[in-house]
Amino acid sequence: MPAHRLDDIDRMILAELQGDGRMTNVELAKRVGISAPPCLRRVRTLEDAGYITGYHAEVDARSLGFEVKVFAHVGLNSQAEADLSAFENRCREWPLVRECHMLNGEVDFILKCVAPDLSTFQTFLTEELLRAENVAQVKTSLVIRGAKDVPGVPFDVMADRLSKEA
């Protein structure tokens, strides 16, 4: 957890940037009710403290030809820390793997993968993922459609929690 303590304005800055990371500093300052110079200082402080880890364009995978999204549930033979880290490092090298999360429970990892077509994913599955060192089993789920995909955190939940603590 970063050491910087967030106040209401910091949280508003984060919420606004999470919704639209391309807005100008002047627009951001106007939305949170402060002038531009202190707003910019606050943004830099939030970046330095690790609350803001980057700025990204949200692209439409389907319009770019990535028609297939798959969640792969991966079980490993060994859960020793060195083996877990080695698998995570391998996942970082695979372009089709867009997210990798270690889980508690029946499977060790869940991977979100995208591919232009099922054949490309199947090749990745059989020639890369299933052959990776320490992989014991993989179960896949093909996404039919998505109902919700919202990045970041729900700032309204944080605000409600903080108002109850006050």
Distance in angstroms (rounded) separating the CA atoms of residues 48 and 52? 8
Name the pLDDT band for 108 (thresholds 50, 70, 90). very high
Average pLDDT of span 102-127 = 97
- The per-residue DSSP string of the chain comes to --SSPP-HHHHHHHHHHHH-TTS-HHHHHHHHTS-HHHHHHHHHHHHHTTS---------TGGGT--EEEEEEEEES---HHHHHHHHHHHHH-TTEEEEEE-SSS-SEEEEEEESSHHHHHHHIIIIITTSTTEEEEEEEE----S----S--HHHHHHHHHHH-
What pLDDT shows up at residue 2?
52
Domains of the chain (ranges; CATH) run 8-57 (1.10.10.10), 62-142 (3.30.70.920)
User: Does the pLDDT of residue 166 top 70, yes or no?
Assistant: no
What pLDDT shows up at residue 1?
43
C-alpha atoms less than 13 angstroms from C-alpha of 114 in its C-beta half-sphere: 12
Q: What angle do CA 159, 163, 164 make, to 5 degrees?
A: 120
Q: For residue 145, how many other CB atoms are within 10 A of its CB?
A: 5
- 17-43 pLDDT, tens digit each: 999 999 999 999 999 999 999 999 999
Task: At 92, list the tokens.
Answer: 């970082």
User: Does the pLDDT of residue 3 top 60, yes or no?
Assistant: no
User: Does the pLDDT of residue 132 top 50, yes or no?
Assistant: yes
Rg for the chain (alpha carbons), in Å?
20
The pTM is what? 0.85
- 65-92 pLDDT, tens digit each: 999 999 999 999 999 999 999 999 999 9
97-102/68-76 β-pairing:
unpaired
Distances, alpha carbon 90 to alpha carbons 8, 34, 104, 120, in Å: 40, 45, 20, 18
Q: Report which of 21, 20, 61 is spatially closest to residue 146, judged by C-alpha positions.
A: 61
